[in-house]
Structure 1
Amino acid sequence: MSLFRLTLRNVLHRRFLSLLTVCAVAITVSFIVLLSLSRDSVEEGAKKGYGPFDLVIGAEGSETQLVLNTFYHIGAPTGNIPLAVLDQVGLDSGVDKAYAMTTGDNYNGFPVVGIDPGYFMTRYGDRKLQEGAIYAHTGETIVGSYVAQTLGLKIGDTFTGAHGLVQEESLAGEEIEHDDFEDSAAVEHEHEDEVAGEEHDHKSFLYTVVGILPTLYSPDDRAVFTTVDYAWAVHNLAEEEREITAVLVKPNSLLGAHNLKQTLDGSNGVQAAYTSKAVSDVLNAVDQGSRLIGVLTALCILLAAISILLSLIAAVGERTKDVGLLRLLGKSRAYVWMTLTTEGLLITATGLIVGLLLGHLGAFLLKDAFFSQAGIQIDPYHWTTNHGWIVLGTLCIGLFSSLGPAFRMYRLHPLALFKS
């Protein structure tokens, strides 16, 4: 009987224990693969998220919040700034391109973003639309590929938006003091009137889909784009009341970005933020969370190694007489040693293959949920050098876990093995 066939029969003889060991290895590998794919996707998505716009100008507040809302369509904007800021930026000699952005509304949870059509040429080059044409008039929209796919939108469809970037829910279970009841009721009544007015404004303003963007593999896939003046049209704002949410700036040089930041930052409630710095802060926060996950991963690896070790120790205890008989029949110590190490590697390799498949399957199942929440896509078909290290590390763990029990059998005399 060949070495591989003997090893396979030994593994199948202890089906339950072998299955538990394979599961331990598979779960550990799949967790590491999913973590690796997620980390690579976050880093790649963060780099692609803001394109050539190294500077963003908005209302004072958190720089991270401003950048996440502007480029990744996450969270609420920090506020509005005067429209005159756009003119001031446009006159700066250090600016190559500058585009105003207005946000604050949504359609079925997807943000409605008002921005000049030139943004797409600057950001993505001369890529053609999947269908239709770019918007030219107030109320016309182009939608991201993910939005079109999720909501089933096509050219010519019409819809109305809603105020806010997320669906607002009333707080339940709050206790109101009796003395403040009248004031609270008055505020609530005023808020209801305001909300009712906003809902009426939004219901009366109709959007028309005139184009669908190609798949861009960026947060823009999950946004609805229209003209900058949509917010002013929805709320019937006079010219002196018009404001914008942010200005996206592509500077001529880093020096130009620095000078513009020095000029605008902190003046009249306006802030200028370096996009790359804000994104780096977010990635640093993610890395800190990854360290904790890394500790949990190390524990999983340790448990998988212990599982392999215990499985082989149990095999040694069960097959002491069998190994002794093999030695008396003339099989060498090396053959006995290879039998046990091959068994450990076979179990490990099986768990490794299953784990790789499960990890990529998990990425496939989670990609839509991850993209809808963070605007970053996980590529379940992506293979990197990390996979090679995962394969090599897993096989090494299986080999090292096999050495102890195999060496124990290797050292004993065949008569001692048989008598025991």
Structure 2
Amino acid sequence: MSLFRLTLRNVLHRRFLSLLTVCAVAVTVGFIVLLTLSRESVEQGAKKGYGPFDLVIGAAGSETQLVLNTFYHIGAPTGNIPLAALDQAKQDQSVAEAYAMTTGDNYKGFPIVGLESGYFFTRYGGARLQEGSMYAHTGDTIVGSYVAKSLGLKVGDTFSGAHGLVQEEGLESAEAEHGEEHEEHGEEHGEGHDEDHAHGSFRYTVTGILPELHTPDDRAVFTTVDYAWAVHGLAPEDREITAVLVKPASLLGAHNLKQELDGSDGVQAVYTSKAVSDVLNAVDQGSRLLGVLTAICVLLAGISILLSLIAAAGERTKDVGLLRLLGKSRGYVWLTLTCEGLLVTATGLIAGLLLGHLGAYLLKDALFAQAGIQIQPYHWTPEHWLIALGAIAIGLLSSLGPAFRMYRMHPLALFKS
């Protein structure tokens, strides 16, 4: 009987214990693979999330909040700033491009972003729309590919937005149910009614659908900057913007503009890369905690393999003694147990790789919907090879103890025991 057939028969003879060991290895490997893919996706998504816009101007407050809201469409804006900040940025000789942004409304949970159309040409070059044309008039919109797919939107569709960045579920039914009560307390809730009515009566029209950009822009609705002014009927002197996206002509130019604007009239200018780096540092701190949990899982998987092989060695003492009496060498005996450990480990490794990528596939939509991070479930990273080598090494090391114990014993002692 060949060594492989003998090893396979021994593994199948102890199905339950072998299955538990395979599951321990598979869960550990799957967890590490999912963690690796998620971390790489977060890093890649964060780095390309802001494109060439190395500086962003917004209301004073949290730098991280400003960058996350502006480029990743996460969280609320820090506030509004005067239009004069846009004029100052555009007139600066060290600025290559500057675009205004307004935000604060949503459509079914997806942010509505007022943004000058030149942003798309500056960031994505000559990428064409998947369908339709760019917005040109107030109320025209183009929607990200993820939004169009999720909501079934197509060119020509119309809709109304809602105030805030989170859709209030059941708003219409609640209004109908409590209509009389709202009428009685009209003075108390009049301002809220006026705002709801303003958003409900303003209609957007889908004029185009963006191609898959693999950035947070896939999950947003874009329209003209003046949409917020039109919805709220603001006079020219009351008009403000949420942020200014700046592509500097040089790093020195970005520094000079930041010095001029930062801290003046409630305005802050933020280096985008610095704010993103702060977010990644926070992610790394969380990864360290997960790393500790991963190390514990690896240790438990190694112990599981070791216990499985110790049990196998105890069961197979007479069999090994008989093999030795039939003339099989000590090396053959050593290989039978070592190969058994490696076979169980390799089976768990393959199952774990499949499990990790399956988990990434199942979580990719949820991760993208919440954070705009596109996880690549089919991506193979250099760390995969390290995971595979580490798993095989742990399986081999766990096999050495029981195998060496059987190797040292005399065949008569093995048989008599």
TM-score (norm 1): 0.95
Aligned residue in 2 for 1:126: 126
- Pick from 248, 256, 261 the counterpart of residue 258 of structure 2: 261
Alignment partners' CA distance in 2, 1:164 and 1:109: 9
Aligned residue in 2 for 1:182: none
How far is the alpha carbon of 1:168 from its aligned partner?
5.3
Aligned residue in 1 for 2:176: none
Query: Are 1:43 and 2:43 matched, yes or no?
Result: yes
Counterparts of 1:208-247 in structure 2 under 5 Å? Answer: 208-247=205-244
CA RMSD in angstroms, aligned pairs only: 1.3
Counterparts of 1:340-419 in structure 2 under 5 Å? Answer: 340-419=337-416
Counterparts of 1:163-182 in structure 2 under 5 Å? Answer: 163-167=163-167
Amino acid at match of 1:378: I
- Cα deviation digits, residues 350-407 of structure 1 (max 9, x gap): 0000000000000000000000000001010100101111111100000010000000
How far is the alpha carbon of 1:189 from its aligned partner?
7.5
How far is the alpha carbon of 1:198 from its aligned partner?
1.0
Amino acid at match of 1:227: T
How far is the alpha carbon of 1:197 from its aligned partner?
1.2
Please say which of residues 188-197 and 209-218 is displaced more in the overlay.
188-197
Alignment partners' CA distance in 2, 1:197 and 1:42: 41
Alignment partners' CA distance in 1, 2:364 and 2:193: 37
SS of 2:380 mapped into structure 1: coil
How far is the alpha carbon of 1:23 from its aligned partner?
0.2
Aligned residue in 1 for 2:97: 97
Amino acid at match of 2:323: L
Alignment partners' CA distance in 2, 1:191 and 1:241: 25
Alignment partners' CA distance in 2, 1:68 and 1:292: 24
- Structure 1: tracts of 5 or more residues without a match: 171-187
Compared with structure 1, are the counterparts of its residues 90 and 362 closer, same or farther at alpha carbon in structure 2 (3 Å cutoff)?
same
- Cα deviation digits, residues 310-340 of structure 1 (max 9, x gap): 0000000000000000000000000000000
How far is the alpha carbon of 1:204 from its aligned partner?
0.7
Aligned residue in 2 for 1:177: none
- Cα deviation digits, residues 188-235 of structure 1 (max 9, x gap): 987732221111001110000010000000000000000000000001
Aligned residue in 2 for 1:274: 271
Query: Are 1:200 and 2:197 matched, yes or no?
Result: yes
- Pick from 322, 329, 334 the counterpart of residue 332 of structure 1: 329
- Cα deviation digits, residues 49-77 of structure 1 (max 9, x gap): 00000000000000000000000000000
- Cα deviation digits, residues 236-264 of structure 1 (max 9, x gap): 11000100000000000000000000000
Amino acid at match of 2:62: S
Aligned residue in 1 for 2:62: 62
Please say which of residues 159-168 and 87-96 is displaced more in the overlay.
159-168
Aligned residue in 2 for 1:251: 248
Query: Are 1:297 and 2:308 matched, yes or no?
Result: no
How far is the alpha carbon of 1:166 from its aligned partner?
1.3
Alignment partners' CA distance in 1, 2:14 and 2:224: 68
Amino acid at match of 2:130: Q
Alignment partners' CA distance in 2, 1:189 and 1:405: 82
Amino acid at match of 1:415: L
Aligned residue in 1 for 2:181: none
Alignment partners' CA distance in 2, 1:43 and 1:354: 26
Compared with structure 1, are the counterparts of its residues 198 and 68 closer, same or farther at alpha carbon in structure 2 (3 Å cutoff)?
same
| Contact 2:103 2:242 (8 Å CA) reproduced | yes
Alignment partners' CA distance in 2, 1:62 and 1:134: 32
SS of 1:61 mapped into structure 2: coil
Alignment partners' CA distance in 1, 2:411 and 2:321: 5
Identity of aligned residues (%): 81
Amino acid at match of 2:223: T
Aligned residue in 2 for 1:77: 77
- Cα deviation digits, residues 94-148 of structure 1 (max 9, x gap): 1000000000000000000000100000011100110011000110000000000
SS of 1:127 mapped into structure 2: coil
Alignment partners' CA distance in 2, 1:310 and 1:337: 17
How far is the alpha carbon of 1:169 from its aligned partner?
8.6
Compared with structure 1, are the counterparts of its residues 338 and 235 closer, same or farther at alpha carbon in structure 2 (3 Å cutoff)?
same
- Structure 2: tracts of 5 or more residues without a match: 171-184
Compared with structure 1, are the counterparts of its residues 107 and 169 closer, same or farther at alpha carbon in structure 2 (3 Å cutoff)?
closer
| Contact 2:59 2:268 (8 Å CA) reproduced | yes
Alignment partners' CA distance in 2, 1:324 and 1:191: 91
How far is the alpha carbon of 1:167 from its aligned partner?
3.4
> What is the number of residues matched between the two proteins?
404
Alignment partners' CA distance in 2, 1:69 and 1:257: 20
Amino acid at match of 1:321: K
**4+ residue stretches of structure 1 with deviation over 6 A?**
188-191
Query: Are 1:138 and 2:138 matched, yes or no?
Result: yes
Amino acid at match of 2:221: V
| Contact 2:107 2:167 (8 Å CA) reproduced | no
Alignment partners' CA distance in 1, 2:102 and 2:403: 68
TM-score (norm 2): 0.95
| Contact 2:158 2:204 (8 Å CA) reproduced | yes
SS of 1:74 mapped into structure 2: coil
How far is the alpha carbon of 1:84 from its aligned partner?
1.4
Alignment partners' CA distance in 2, 1:190 and 1:416: 97
SS of 1:217 mapped into structure 2: coil
